[in-house]
Amino acid sequence: MTFNWGTGIASVYAVFVLATTAFVTFAMRQPVALVRTDYYAESLRQDQRSLAIRNAGDLGAHVAVVETSGPALLIVVPREQAAIARGNVTFYRASDVSADRVVPLAVAADGRQRISLNGYQAGRWVVQLQWTAGGRDFYTERQVDLK
């Protein structure tokens, strides 16, 4: 049996088309999880977020997200803001958007709130603390590795 150039070129082309089709089919069946479902709207709020980060930075050490034993997390805001602080603590999981959790900020008179981490998946979480007090917005975040 003789093998000519035309047959070879047609064979290479056919293999290329099959491989491309197989890859496209594979890629289309993979789940696509965006980091945020409201990505565009969130990007428009970035200026407000930058100001809130600056406001929290101005408070210095009076704002903290501290890991404690138990497993638990301790949220600390200034005592002057404890009675008027309203906001959320968001546990953001980049690898699994369905695992995200939001806990209302409810600090005691001493400016502290303890949040139990029982039932949270092991791995990296980003704890996002966002609150409003005295007409100003505040925001800080910290990465936490749960074991």
Write the CA distances from 5 to 1, 2, 15, integer angstroms.
Answer: 13, 10, 15
Who's near 68: CB < 8 A, 6+ residues apart? 74, 114
Short-list 33, 44, 63, 62, CA closest to 128: 63
CB 31: neighbour CB atoms within 10 A? 4
Whole-structure pTM value: 0.69
pLDDT digits (tens, 9 = 90+) for 63-117: 888 888 778 889 988 888 888 999 999 999 888 878 899 999 999 999 899 999 8
CB contact set of 123 (below 8 Å; sequence gap of 6+): 93, 95, 145, 146
Output the CA angle 100-106-111, nearest 5 degrees.
120
Q: Tell me, what's the pLDDT at 119?
A: 87
**Which pLDDT value is given to residue 3?**
77
Q: Which of 20-29, 44-53, 72-81, 92-101 has the highest mean pLDDT?
A: 20-29
pLDDT tops 70 at residue 5: yes
Give the tokens for residue 2. Answer: 């003789």
- Burial of residue 11, with CB atoms counted within 10 A of its CB: 0-12 exposed, 13-18 middle, 19 or more buried: exposed
If residue 137 lies in a helix (H) or strand (E), which one and from where to where? strand 136-146
